[in-house]
Structure 1
Amino acid sequence: MNFRKYLVPIAGLSLLVFAWNQYGWQGVAAVSGAIVMFLLLHFNRTMAVLRRAANRPIGYVDSAVMLNAKLKPGVNLMHVMALTRSLGELKTPKDEQPELYRWTDGGGSWVDAEFMDGKLRQWTLTRPDPAAAQAEPSDQPPAP
């Protein structure tokens, strides 16, 4: 069970109770101001990530290899969106766990990332086969 979603509100309420017991209304005002600042900072970061992602194609990343090197298990989807500056292309049906997102670069490589409850569980990098790319016929005549 995910206790983190309960832990933060309980910690906030505990701080408010402590502030009331120690400093009265002045303490409650100070702690309330700190909590509001904390919430505004997180809201601002979320909006900045989404604003950057809105200006890029869905599922596009500059370099899939670099994304693969920067990923770590346990990071959330918002962190990966901040790294890629793009929304991932959802490959599984909506609201089904685990969620599979794909980010593709201009060279044809892609990273498939699997998220369980919003946390990165595993990912794979797939690169195109260079031999298959050379075997494709070209529009230019052969060199003499």
Structure 2
Amino acid sequence: MRAMNFQKLLVPVGAILLLGLAWRTGGWGGVALAGGAIVMFLLLHFNRAMQVLKRAAERPVGYVGSAVMLNAKLKPGATLMHVIAMTRALGELRSPKDEQPELYRWTDGGGSYVDAVFNGGKLQSWEMTRPETPLEEDNTPAN
């Protein structure tokens, strides 16, 4: 949990250090340039998040084209936003709202599904389940 808090502080501390360095090297002009770069960085990330959510809003919740492909592409530590971008759909929340860890499910047209567990917005584990198919009877003649 401490690593997550450290990561949340890393970007603001880095921005402050960048602004301080810009002040030392270029005065107010340097601060303006560094501030513009920071704002551009934030706008790019905001724009990407909006594009991902816009694409996801156009598909059914919890749907994925292929659960097998999703299972193959998942990696531990991936963010929920990254998984939503891969599936182009919001996952179906299967755990109580606002409780950690969160469990999301993506199901494909064949009934296979992937259950993904996110803790603090990072992928912790996942499991793919395929629907059970009835065993076909052996129609070979007995000798």
1:79 counterpart residue number: 82
Structure 1 counterpart of 2:105, one-letter code: R
1:10 counterpart residue number: 13
Corresponding position: 1:95 with 2:98 = yes
Deviation of the 1:130 alpha carbon? 2.0
Q: Please report the RMSD computed on the Cα atoms of aligned residues, expressed in angstroms.
A: 1.1
Corresponding position: 1:35 with 2:30 = no
Q: How does 1:1-144 map to 2 (within 5 A)?
A: 1=2, 2=4, 3-131=6-134
Normalized against structure 2, the TM-score is what?
Answer: 0.91
Distance in 1, Cα, partners of 2:87 & 2:10: 29
Q: How many residues align?
A: 134
Unaligned runs of 5+ in 2: 138-143
1:138 counterpart residue number: none
Structure 1 ranges of 4+ moved more than 2 A: none
Task: String of CA shifts for 1:37-59, please: whole Å, max 9, x gaps.
Answer: 10000000000000000000000
Normalized against structure 1, the TM-score is what?
Answer: 0.90
**Which secondary structure state, in structure 2, belongs to the residue aligned with residue 122 of structure 1?**
strand
Deviation of the 1:63 alpha carbon? 0.2
